[in-house]
Amino acid sequence: MNLKNMWQTMNLVDKFLFILMIMLLLQSAYNLFCPGIVAGQNDPIDITLRTSAAAIFGYFLSSSFMKKNNESVTVDNSKFIDVANNESSMRNQIGFDTVVDGQSLQKGVAANHGTASEQFHCSNLQVLVVACISIFCLVILLLAYDMVASIKADDTTVSQLRDFISGGIGFLIGCGKNK
């Protein structure tokens, strides 16, 4: 199988994680061979970059990356009651569950509405938005980190960019596990 076919079979989440990983590895190689302005290995920006690369690498090593499951998540609508067409039916309220399919509720027992992975679904638009924001923040942070000698790692803007990168990568890894 050639690289083009492999790229086409990858899901959107894996493609973006791969792009982010390449960017992080290129930055690591640059820091190794051109240490110039870089503050040091204990710099919070450098730590964020290395931690993000390690998280993505861990995902690539996991079985989640190797899954070829492109099926969309389906929702079992039999657990929901259509209350719009029946004025006299009971409506769900916070902390309460209605009885479905002749089942009865038991005191102290939680109703099972499926596992978290069955309920969790990432849309392609959501993945695209998060990935683009993460890549944008990573590019800005890398440019500032490599080119601006006076950058402060505890600056609020730098901190926010680091948070967006870490949160975006965490979200993509979570989506990848459920695809």
Tens of pLDDT, residue by residue, the chain (179 residues): 688 888 888 889 999 999 999 999 998 888 888 766 555 556 777 888 889 999 999 988 887 766 654 444 444 444 444 545 555 555 555 655 555 555 565 666 555 555 544 455 788 899 999 999 999 999 998 888 777 766 776 678 888 998 999 999 999 998 887 76
Model pLDDT, residue 171: 93
Assess if residue 107 is contained within a domain: no
Assess if residue 37 is contained within a domain: yes
Structurally, how many domains does the chain consist of?
Answer: 1
Assess if residue 93 is contained within a domain: no
Model pLDDT, residue 21: 94
pTM to 2 decimal places = 0.64
Assess if residue 79 is contained within a domain: no
Q: Please give the Cα distance from 150 to 147 (Å, whole number).
A: 9
Assess if residue 26 is contained within a domain: yes
Supply the range of the domain harboring residue 155: 9-66+121-177
Q: Please give the Cα distance from 49 to 69 (Å, whole number).
A: 29
Q: Please give the Cα distance from 52 to 14 (Å, whole number).
A: 15
Consecutive H or E run containing 117: helix 116-119
Assess if residue 75 is contained within a domain: no
Model pLDDT, residue 108: 60
